[in-house]
Amino acid sequence: MFSHVVIFWTNPARPNAADELIAGAEKYLKPIPGIVSFHVGRMVPSHRPVVEQSYQVALNVQFETQAAQDAYQTHPLHLEFVEQSFKPNCQRVVVYDFQ
């Protein structure tokens, strides 16, 4: 199993950025072949100080292999997501990949 976790900080000048980013992920990323599990959503506030709460949206995508994730990264729908959803709505991103 290969997990690809992306944490997004949206552009505060765009009030609908989180909604647009989530909609874009559903539209462009979810249909890409090779995905075993797909989950995108907003940060959930927590009373626990150990929980990171400065971001707005997170994406968790799982693949059977790293090769499947590599193919996902260069898929035309992923590239379209970057241009249409990510670039206009995000000011920062952190990615965690692990097996």
Average pLDDT over the chain, rounded to an integer:
97
| Mean pLDDT for the stretch of residues 2-31 | 98
Position 71 scores a pLDDT of 97
Amino acid making up residue 35? I
Cα–Cα distance for residue pair 99/91, rounded to 1 Å: 27
pLDDT at position 84 is: 97
Mean pLDDT in residue range 69-93: 97
Tokens found for residue 97: 């990949």
- Where in the chain are the domains? 2-44+54-98
pTM of the model: 0.94
> Alpha-carbon distance 19 to 97, whole Å?
24
Tell me the CATH class for 2-44+54-98.
alpha beta
